[in-house]
Amino acid sequence: MQSLEELSREIESIRQEIREGAAKFATPEAFYEFRKSFLDNKAGKIGHLMKEMRNVPKEDKAAYGKNVNVLRDWAQEHFKDMENAVRAKQLEMRYEREKIDVTEPAVRVEEGRLHPVTQVKNQLIDIFASMGFEVYEGTEIETDYYNFTALNTPQDHPARDMQDTFYLSPEFLLRTQTSAGQIHVMESKKPPIKIVSPGKVFRSDDDATHSPMFTQMEGLVVDKGITLCDLKGMLDVFVKRIFGEETSTRLRPSFFPFTEPSVEVDVSCFECGGKGCRLCKGTGWIEVLGAGVVNKKVLENCGIDSDEYSGFAFGLGLERIAMLKYGINNIKLLFESDLRFLKQIND
Ligand code: DAH
């Protein structure tokens, strides 16, 4: 563009373009891009006019330069106003977006809580920890040896029929009892031993009070001079803490391959106080766990001298404790994740 005439036409068209552009910008970014396309020294249209100066005849250079400067000053002023307008519009939109209606009802924040079985597990751990027990967590997949053989239940032992086992291979299985953990602990630790071991166990069993997966807690104490009396004393403290001060225990003879003697432990019915009701089926007693004095063979299997040391063990089902404690009549409720049910138990 060499002639002044051409320049003034170009200037007019640029002014026009800037004026028309003004109303279009929804975002500041778009506006800044637009402004750049005129004012940028390198890529802008007005910057470009300046560069053209070298092609303008000498005698016109002064007038050319003046005209372009006037245009640039005008554009800068104009863009300043536009920028203010764009900013004001942005602010207005933001106020609109962030408007709060203080009269609207608040959104209720739902509070989560622990599953009843987890609540029971934590309560039991607290109680046992206060009596000096440590927590050992075993694995859900076990070998036949740890789950059965080392617990004095060899391959052809009839006691294997007490538990229907999910085998993964002839050697590996889903543990049927947390008792398997006893063996690991006794193999790796010298007495005195005092542990509880909570965890999932698996059995092919399914009805209103049995689930193929459920949770147990095993307890094991091994030291010099441990007897059945120590077990009874500990259980008395334990049941009072979990079911209430009025609760007492009763031991009935039973059989487990890994304990000798073995007992079934009943608690006096905390619902009727022993008079007989629906919960205790009229007997006044409720069965809560299996226990006994650790069989000498089990100690020997783990390399513990059974003449020097003795121990007691116990195993209980956490779902069963939860069902008794919270009056739940079907174990399935503990596995269905129905919030209407779960919300009712916050202990
Ligand atoms: N493991 C047994 C079961 O699952 C429960 C049990 C009974 C564990 C007696 C023990 C025990 O440690 O001494 O039925």
- pLDDT per residue as tens digits for the range 291-342: 999 999 999 999 999 999 999 999 999 999 999 999 898 899 999 999 999 9
Least confident of 81-85, 119-123, 234-238, 322-326: 81-85
Q: Is the pLDDT of residue 2 over 60?
A: no
Q: Say what the pLDDT of residue 142 is.
A: 97
Instruction: Give the 3-state secondary structure of residue 213.
Output: strand
State yes or no: pLDDT of 71 exceeds 90: no
* pLDDT band per the 50, 70, 90 thresholds, residue 81: confident
State mean pLDDT over 189-203.
97
User: Mutate which of 231, 314, 316, 318 to test ligand 1's pocket (most atoms within 8 Å of Cβ)?
Assistant: 314
Written as one letter, the residue type at 211 is: S
Is the pLDDT reported for residue 203 higher than 80? yes
CA 322 to chain CA centroid, Å, is 21
Classify 333 as helix, strand or coil: helix
Mean pLDDT estimate for the chain: 91
Asked: is 116-342 a CATH 3.30.930.10 domain? The reply is yes
Ligand 1: distance of its center to the CA of 314 in Å? Answer: 6
Helix (H) or strand (E) holding 101: none
Distance 199 CA to ligand 1 centre (A): 13
When comparing pLDDT for 58 and 254, which is higher?
254
Give the pLDDT of residue 90. Answer: 87
Average pLDDT score over residue span 128-147: 97
Q: Lowest-pLDDT range, 101-105, 134-138, 205-209?
A: 205-209
In the chain, CATH 3.30.930.10 covers 116-342
DSSP summary character for residue 210 = B
Residues 10-39: what's their mean pLDDT? 84
Q: What is the pLDDT of residue 238?
A: 94
Q: Given CA atoms 275, 281, 283, 287 in this order, what sign does their dihedral have?
A: negative
Residue 20 and residue 231: Cα distance in Å, rounded?
93
Nearest CA to ligand 1 atom 2: 315
Q: Is the CB of 288 under 6 A from ligand 1?
A: no
Predicted TM-score (pTM) of the model is 0.71
Q: How far apart are CA 148 and CA 314, in angstroms?
A: 16
Most ligand 1 atoms within 8 A of CB, residue of 148, 194, 232, 258 to mutate:
258
Nearest CA to ligand 1 atom 5: 315
First to last CA, the chain: 87
What residue has token string 């400067």?
Answer: 69
Predicted confidence band of residue 22 (pLDDT cuts 50, 70, 90): low
Q: What is the mean pLDDT of residues 196-206?
A: 93
Mean predicted confidence (pLDDT) in 7-32: 83
- The per-residue pLDDT for 23 is 65
The predicted pLDDT at position 249 comes to: 95
Which tokens hold the place of 68?
A: 């372009």
- Which residue, among 23, 305, 257, 47, has the nearest Cα to 158 in the 3D structure? 257
Q: How confident is the model at residue 6 (pLDDT cuts 50, 70, 90)?
A: confident
Kindly indicate the confidence band of residue 1, based on its pLDDT and cuts at 50, 70 and 90. Answer: low
Least confident of 32-41, 118-127, 307-316: 32-41
Work out which ligand 1 atom sits closest to the CA atom of 219. 12
Confidence check: pLDDT of 239 > 70: yes
